[in-house]
Amino acid sequence: MRYFKADLHIHSCLSACADIDITPLRIIKRAKEIGLQVIAIADHNSAENLLTASLIADREGILLIPAMEITSKEEVHILALFETLDCAMEMQSLVYRSLPEDGLANQDPVYQLVVNEDEEILDFNGKTLFGATSLSAADIVTKIHRCGGLAVASHVDRECFSLISQLGFIPPEVAIDALEISYSISMKAALERFASYRHLPWLRNSDAHTLNDIGIAYTMFKLDELSFKGIAAAFKEKDRLRVRRE
């Protein structure tokens, strides 16, 4: 077994809150530059840049985990990690059915760019991807599991959009596989604040919305196989995960 460096929560230009130059191509080039071996591109409520990302990742020899960051009706962010692109697309269909129907019609303009391998714009996504779905956090986790994925409680130390900020605690029916602590909190503070969740595996990821933030926080996974299956196995033995920040 050996350690692999992973940042499993990176937004692309499909997320309205991310920079428009954070394209799949630039994310993967930057990830390689800083020695990441595994990344997940997780846009808000959409997987539409993942086909492009997977083509580039295959070419560049980096493992891309298909992912999404899904917003529940309680405004909780859940990071969903999948084995295949098809699983992510299946989840995307469920999520799209639970987004508001009027899309961006009554909103200020935002950029949610779907791009190709050459960074050409294929589509301006017109859905309110940054908003809440009509699914509860518990429903989302159940659906992620049905699609064969892993569900991670995003940035639990944040003041908003986290399972703990929105619900006060992690209810037992929200069967998350791991929790993510953000760049902003020290390990010491996190261990004190989330002592009751030490039975779960913890991740650190960058939650990057800009190219420069990729890899500022990451997790070292001890794996015998660099694959989604290898990562899923490591989630079950939390001693094989080591969280880091720059």
Task: Tell me which of 7, 69, 139, 213 binds Zn ion, using CB under 5 A.
Answer: 69
Question: Which residue number places its CB atom closest to Zn ion?
Answer: 77
Name the DSSP letter for residue 46: B
**Cα separation, 214 vs 230, whole angstroms:** 22
Q: Which is nearer to Zn ion, 74 or 117 (CB)?
A: 74
Element (H, E) at 163: helix 163-167
Q: By CB under 5 A, name the one of 77, 127, 143, 204 that touches Zn ion.
A: 77
Locate tokens 């499909």: which residue?
Answer: 14
Q: Which residues contact 105 (CB under 8 A, 6 or more apart)?
A: none
User: With contact defined as beta carbons under 8 Å apart, do 224 and 3 qualify?
Assistant: no
Q: Which of 83, 157, 207, 213 binds Zn ion (CB under 5 A)?
A: 207
Burial of 169 (0-12, 13-18, 19+ CB in 10 A): exposed
Q: Which of 154, 205, 206, 219 binds Zn ion (CB under 5 A)?
A: 154
> Is residue 240 a contact residue for Zn ion (CB under 5 A)?
no
User: Considering beta carbons, is residue 44 or 240 the nearer one to Zn ion?
Assistant: 44
Q: Could you list the residues that contact Zn ion (CB under 5 A)?
A: 69, 77, 154, 207
